[in-house]
Amino acid sequence: MGVYWAQAAAKSFDGKIEIIDLRTLYPLDEELIFTAVKRHGKCLIVTEEQQNNSFAEALAGRISKHCFTFLDAAVEVIGALNLPAVPMNILLEQAMLPNAEKVRERIGELLSS
């Protein structure tokens, strides 16, 4: 879902962001990721998984390590809230998960930093 949220959010930032869809995590196309981050100087990782101790946070750390001198801001991660389970109530589930609006807000904050 992260790709769809990012694509919807990108409509508010015409031509200012690049979306990379990581269809596979192994092998991870690090060259593609690092090249894009070096080109833009900023990075937001969008994931549907819970953020704490996630692959997304590990990826953010890897990007920070390899692209440190090219970054204009810290690598950001947006993911699900850290709750013990996905709520059964639809409104609580919507509050827990990222969505296009939440991603758009984070992109705006990152671009203005």
pTM score, whole prediction: 0.92
The dihedral over CA atoms of 82, 28, 36, 9, expressed in degrees to the nearest 10, equals -40
Task: Read off the CATH number of the domain in which 44 is found.
Answer: 3.40.50.920
Count of domains observed in the chain? 1
Which residues form the domain of 45?
Answer: 2-112
CA distance 112 to 90: 32
The per-residue pLDDT for range 34-88, each reduced to its tens digit, is: 999 999 999 999 999 999 999 999 999 999 999 999 999 999 999 999 988 889 9
> Of 39, 37, 25, whose CA–CA distance to 63 is shortest?
37
> Would you tell me the crossing angle of helices 100-112 and 2-10 to the nearest 10 degrees?
60
Token reading at 78 = 């947006």
